[in-house]
Amino acid sequence: MVGLRFHFLHRLKILSFSLLFVFCIGFVCKAEELCSCADPGNLPFSNQKLEGFENKIAQIVADSLHVPLSYYWFAHQRGLVRNTLKIGKCNVIIGVPSTWGQVLTTKPYYRTSYVMVYKKDKGLNIQSLDDPALKHLKIGVLINSPPHQLLAEKGIIENVVGYSPFFDPVFHPEDFPGKIVEEVLSDKIDIGLVWGPVAGFYIKKKGAAIVMVPLTSNNPRIPMAFDISMGVKKGDQELKNKLDQVIDSKRGEILQVLEEYGVPLLKTTADIEQNTNIGKSHEVSAKTVN
């Protein structure tokens, strides 16, 4: 499941763990608090300045439960659960794939997908990865990501520019999650295939006229959209139940935070199955941002 949590979100990075452990040695999460296992430098998700949308959502949850919120900072990479939840350093990871087997997951609180982005003034009208025009355009994508794999299956290889999924905000800030969006804007590439929350955040931050198209896949082995839940330690049914209640009661506030950060939202699998409508304002289709 590491492949899903940390491959499809591309939240792997090379960090100096000694710097993290200086602040975390001896830290144990108290039973009467909500302690988030959070990445110290991974916007738009979280950072130590509490500027990410997962920081905001964690605060909503803590306030609703009437408990203090604390953080255990750990880079979201391999070993996350083993070094955090399992040893009591924290009791919740705010954003995980709903099917992730390493934790006990809550009900989904949002669903999003990879997206295709291109400048409005390019004059393009591409709505899927099946468009033959893609074979003649320069496409930027993170190496080995689901969109990269799907392009390869379709024989779109020669015109693809691969970007490393590894980044280090301390020593190599030029390699950051929104780099593909930035290079679409600077015309270094024609099209970018990016994880939706990352694309939406950086597009909104830049204030540029960008077309953003949610990607779909007919290959069940390479999905493009994912339900996102909160994750707790396996067996912690009590906390899971409390979080489920918060997700239900604070759904509007949570969705508002996600929208403020430009996260492209889809109906969750449960919403689709139950034929419920969470509101057209929370649906994303091909659109121009700004």
**DSSP bridge pairs for 14:** none
Q: How far apart are CA 221 and CA 152, in angstroms?
A: 14
- Report pTM: 0.84
ω into residue 220 within 30 of 0, thus cis? no
CA dihedral 97, 230, 91, 57 (to 10 degrees): 130
Mean residue pLDDT across the chain: 86
Give DSSP secondary structure letters for 16-48: -HHHHHHHHTT----TTSEEEEE-TEETTTEET
- The band of 65, judged by pLDDT with boundaries at 50, 70 and 90, is very high
CATH 3.40.50.2000 is right for the domain spanning 2-110+225-277: no
* Residue-wise pLDDT tens digits, 10-61: 443 433 333 444 344 456 677 789 999 999 988 999 999 999 999 999 999 9
Work out the angle between the directed axes of helices 53-65 and 251-260 (0-180°, nearest 10): 160
Mean pLDDT of 54-78: 95
Confirm if 206 and 181 have CB atoms less than 8 A apart: yes
Is residue 64's pLDDT more than 90?
yes
All structural domains of the chain with their residue ranges: 2-110+225-277, 114-214
Q: What pLDDT does residue 208 have?
A: 81
Strands 139-142 and 191-195: parallel
* Chain segment 210-265, per-residue pLDDT in tens: 999 999 999 999 999 999 999 999 999 999 999 999 999 999 999 999 999 999 99
Higher pLDDT, 230 or 176: 230
DSSP class of residue 122?
G
pLDDT of residue 11: 44
Is a pLDDT exceeding 70 seen at residue 63?
yes
pLDDT of residue 281 exceeding 60: no
β-pair type (69-73, 160-163): unpaired
| Domain with residues 114-214, CATH architecture | 3-Layer(aba) Sandwich (3.40)
* pLDDT at residue 177 in the model: 79
pLDDT at 14: 35
Domains 2-110+225-277 and 114-214 equal at CATH topology level: yes
170 pLDDT band (50/70/90 cuts)? low
Lowest mean pLDDT among 26-30, 108-112, 277-281: 277-281
